[in-house]
Structure 1
Amino acid sequence: MGFERKMLTNGDPEDEEEDAPEEEEEEEEDLVDPLEAIRAKCEETEHCVHYKELLERCENRVNSKSRTAEECTEELFDFLHARDHCVSEKLFHKVK
């Protein structure tokens, strides 16, 4: 019964816990991941655009068929490799 009195005089602890995550969420929204911005820029480079077009052509070809064993794994890996190579050259200059 003493615990109940303490809750009544001090307020519900759950109300206080609910307020704290909202403050943390607001702070997290202001943070921007530099990796995402660099990836977007790298995807626009000529080298990456070429591999992205190959990947899209493969996806369109595979999606247009009802039965096929073809997958676009190689095209996806080629695109990701090209993008990550570009990102690796730029990312570590942003890291503190």
Structure 2
Amino acid sequence: MVFEEKMILNGEPEDDPLDTVRDKCAQAEHCIHTRAKLEDCESRVGSKSETAEDCTEELFDFLHARDHCGSTDLFSYIR
């Protein structure tokens, strides 16, 4: 509710801080490593016609690494 009130009073934010922090963290070394594992899995699964394998674990590993990296920086955007 508070966010909606701020939007009414201040208008739409130009840049979403969450997206900004996530984009920055996606370029960090650990995130690049987990993204590479995810892309390898996606290409492996995509090359097979039938497989029970999915890339859920790799996706969660990448999302966790990216969000963990950004968790400390995100609070600097709170006013």
The two structures, once aligned, show a CA RMSD in angstroms of 1.3
Bigger Cα Rg: 1
* Match 2:18 to one of 11, 14, 35: 35
- Unaligned runs of 5+ residues in structure 2 are 1-7
TM-score by length of 2: 0.82
Q: Which has the higher contact order (CA 8 A, sep 6+)?
A: 2
Equivalence for 1:12: none
Equivalence for 2:42: 59
Cα shift at 1:92: 0.4
Equivalence for 1:44: 27
TM-score by length of 1: 0.68
1:49 and 1:76 map into 2 onto residues whose CA distance is 12
Total equivalences in the alignment: 70
